[in-house]
Amino acid sequence: MGPLAATRNLRSIRDRGPTFVDADPLPVIAPLFIGQLKIDPPILQAPMAGYTNYAFRQIVRELGGAGLLATEMVNAKGFVWLTEQAAENPDRLWGVKEEPRPLAVQMWDNDPATLAKVGARLANEYKVSVVDINFGCPVRDVVQKAHSGSYLLREPDRMGEIIERVVAACAPTPVTAKIRLGCSRDKINAIEIAQVVEGAGAAALTVHGRTAADMFRGSADWDHIALIKPHLKRIPLIGNGDLDSAQKVVDAFRRYDIDGVMIARASLAKPWLFSQAAAALRGDPVPPDPTLDDERQLLLHHFNLICKRFGDAKGSLLMRKYACCYAQGRPGAREFRSRIVKISAPAEFRAVVERYFPRDC
């Protein structure tokens, strides 16, 4: 099935009748600008390592509703090594040169010169719309071994230097930063960091409302995210964490002083969530979730996109995790998961999807 057919199939979901988010008045939402770039709607697809590759972004694009899409995070030193020594593009930049804009590429590292060099190439050679820098990743290898990601939240001066260098190297392409609230609950410094980010010339700040020590435990602290806003004079604040429904997106804009929202994990199970949230923000009826038959078709379409790039064997292995996400929360998901994680070839993948992917009763 071609990309458009997948989207067309999903139209049948409209037949099941739309719903509205609750009747409270919608907030007036000003357009979100990252530099000169208008992000409309102000709903961003989050970078997720291992997931938000070209195939996933293509699915999100076809379903609509995300104002800005983002790649997985790319290691700047690895990028330099691969492109200069081995003359290859990193797998994580699959599709980036050709696909539609707007598109953000996220990079991570702790060396200002390397980040500036890679930022310049992303801006000038890859012509991306936004260069984002990761200051939020809490993963051991990034934090403890590479002193990057959320490690840098304890070094605001170095963050400032990194951003200044990258902004200068990428101009006029806007540079943004993504952070957590701090390294740990007793070291929350998001306001200080936000001022450093703005002062160094970044064009937007995204805040995941947890600390690095939290990993993914507990709930995102949106009160703390909103506390940052009065301290920003020029750049927009994008809030992130735990948004998994159109209602929650509308509530985030209603309750908190933010300019945009970013959605990550929930979009792996529901890549159509962006279009539902966008409809809700416009005050339109929210399209229902697709039928399970439509979702099965979407999963197979996603599988084809992945196999085209990675080949049948690697593509089948890669697709197992996405398939588990699609089935999440559906009746029969456990049985499906237990079978799909054992497949290793396309025919097996398709057979398990046809036989065990949850069905409408």
Ligand X SMILES: Cc1cc2nc3c(=O)[nH]c(=O)nc-3n(C[C@H](O)[C@H](O)[C@H](O)COP(=O)(O)O)c2cc1C
Shortest separation between residue 134's beta carbon and ligand X, angstroms: 5
CB of 135 or CB of 349, closer to ligand X: 135
Query: Taking the mean position of all CA atoms in its chain, how far away is CA 116?
Result: 22
When the beta carbons of 114 and 134 are compared against ligand X, the nearer one is 134
Contact status, residue 241 vs residue 27, Cβ threshold 8 Å: no
Neighbours of 325 (CB within 10 A): 19
Alpha helices in the chain (DSSP H): 3-10, 54-63, 76-80, 112-124, 140, 156-170, 190-199, 222-228, 246-255, 266-269, 273-282, 292-327, 333-340, 346-356
Q: Is 240 in the site for ligand X (CB under 6 A)?
A: yes
Q: Which x/- pattern, by CB under 6 A, does the window 184-223 give for ligand X?
A: ------------------------x---------------
Segment interacting with ligand X (CB under 6 A) among 24-32, 157-165, 234-242, 326-334: 234-242
- In whole angstroms, how far apart are CA 296 and each of 19, 228, 356? 23, 42, 10
Q: Which range binds ligand X by CB under 6 A, 14-22, 153-161, 241-249, 334-342?
A: 241-249
Using CB under 6 A as the binding rule, whether residue 48 contacts ligand X is answered as yes
| Collapsed DSSP state (helix, strand, coil) of residue 46 | coil
CB 262 within 8 A of CB 249: no
CA distances from 138 to 8, 47, 78 (A): 39, 14, 19
Is 50 one of the binding residues for ligand X (CB under 6 A)? yes
- Using the rule CB under 6 A, is 47 a contact of ligand X? yes
178 lies in the site for ligand X, by CB under 6 A: yes
Q: Does 72 bind ligand X (CB under 6 A)?
A: yes
Spatial separation of the C-alpha atoms in residues 210 and 22, rounded to whole Å: 27
Stretch binding ligand X (CB under 6 A), from 8-16, 131-139, 281-289, 301-309: 131-139
Residue 154 or 350: the one with the smaller Cβ distance to ligand X is 154
Q: What is the Cα–Cα distance from 337 to 332, expressed in whole angstroms? A: 9
Reduced DSSP (H G I as helix, E B as strand, rest coil) percent helix, strand, coil of the chain, to 5: 50, 15, 35
**Is 93 one of the binding residues for ligand X (CB under 6 A)?**
no
69 sits near ligand X (criterion: CB under 6 A): no
Residue 191 burial by Cβ neighbours in a 10 Å radius (0-12, 13-18, 19+): middle
Nearest 5°: CA angle at 65, between 59 and 68?
A: 80
Answer for which of 73, 120, 152, 298 binds ligand X (CB under 6 A) is: 73
Nearer to ligand X, 243 or 286 (CB): 243
Q: Is the peptide bond before 41 cis (omega within 30 degrees of 0)?
A: yes
Site string (253-292) toward ligand X, x via CB under 6 A: ----------xxxx--------------------------
Taking the least distance from each CB to ligand X, the nearer of 6 and 281 is: 281
Burial class (CB in 10 A: 0-12, 13-18, 19+), 342: exposed
Residue of 324, 234, 238, 245 lying closest to 279 (CA atoms): 245
Q: How far is the CB of 152 from ligand X (least distance, A)?
A: 13
Task: Say which DSSP state 241 is in.
Answer: S
Q: Among all residues, which ones are annotated catalytic?
A: 137
Say how many residues touch ligand X, by CB under 6 A. 22
**Cβ closest to ligand X, residue 163 vs residue 292:** 163
CA separation for the pair 242, 18 (Å, rounded): 23
Q: Segment near ligand X (CB under 6 A), from 12-20, 238-246, 309-317, 335-343?
A: 238-246
336 binds ligand X (CB under 6 A): no
From candidates 33, 51, 322, 356, binder to ligand X by CB under 6 A: 51
Among 67, 102, 136, 156, binds ligand X (CB under 6 A): 136
Binding residues for ligand X, per CB under 6 A? 46-51, 72-73, 106, 134, 136-137, 178, 208, 240-243, 263-266
